[in-house]
Amino acid sequence: MSEVPDLPGDNHVHTEWSWDAVEGAMDATCARAEQLRLPSVAFTEHADLTPWVVRPGDAMPDVLARWLRPDGRVAPRPLDVEGYLACLQRCRERYPELRILSGVELSEPHWHPEQTAALLAGGRFHRVLGSVHSVGGRAEPRLVDHAMGDTAAADVVRSYLAEAAVMAASDAPFSVLAHIDYPVRHWPVDAGPFRPADFEEEFRAVLTVLAASGRALEINTRVPLAPELVAWWADAGGDAVSFGSDAHRPADLANGFAAAADVALGCGFRPGTDAAGLWSRRA
């Protein structure tokens, strides 16, 4: 049983200000957060700076197809920072009892230092997540789900984790590594069950570099993070964890957080005095 009666804050949430959150709604998400008695919610909207290569046969749902350029790359619209911040302020005024944090999810920020610096200028984001959504390198980046369609699943995972390690070792300005297990979302059924132990060496390599960088690991609940990964994070000397649902609609806010909190507690992570803060092994 959990030692903490309330759920932790959700530090990875998307709304209508993210290009792919077609059912997102910041106002309704705040209302949902109040219903759940969350101490905080961080709206970490997408800043996908990498134009992804599309090949014949790649699935192209409308949410992607609308951003397809004539050169065969998908380049989503940039984040409207001013519009987003104005919406955030309106929600703070409407929900004064809820701690509402600004945030951004940077895709491959180590590939785009100038764009990243310009986006973060002014220090207007409380939560800055670093994400990898691509494999293939900066010259030929493909979405992980597309790569899963024509490349061995295990090879995609290893390529993904190798890039995550490079990003974690970089000086890119992010404080939390998001969804270290992102490829699991697209793991093909015909590949059999996904077993973290098959990639233990690669996962531990990322976690070791991340711990040395002083950043936090996200326990992302979109697909429940395997408990052994949180244990490996503690083994690596990782100090802090952040909880993120990766919700793209209000109903998915804080999904799986009770179970995720129990996993974190079991690995020695505790909430601090700030209910909206990250959980630490020193708390």
Spell out the residues 6+ positions from residue 137 whose beta carbon is closer than 8 angstroms to its own. Answer: 163
User: What is the tens place of the pLDDT at every residue in 257-278?
Assistant: 999 999 999 999 999 999 999 9
> Does pLDDT of 256 surpass 90?
yes
> Does pLDDT of 3 surpass 60?
no
Between CA 39 and CA 7 the distance in angstroms is: 8
Q: Are 221 and 243 in contact (CB under 8 A)?
A: yes
Helix (H, G, I), strand (E, B) or coil at 124: coil
Between CA 49 and CA 194 the distance in angstroms is: 29
CA separation (Å) from 240 to 134, 142, 207, 272?
A: 25, 30, 12, 11
Between CA 247 and CA 255 the distance in angstroms is: 8
User: What is the tens place of the pLDDT at every residue in 37-88?
Assistant: 999 999 999 999 999 999 999 999 999 999 999 999 999 999 999 999 999 9
User: What is the tens place of the pLDDT at every residue in 168-227?
Assistant: 999 999 999 999 999 999 999 999 999 999 999 999 999 999 999 999 999 999 999 999
Residues forming beta bridges with residue 177, ordered by sequence position:
130, 217
pLDDT, the chain, mean: 96
**Residue 283's pLDDT band (cuts 50, 70, 90):** low
**Residue 6's pLDDT band (cuts 50, 70, 90):** confident
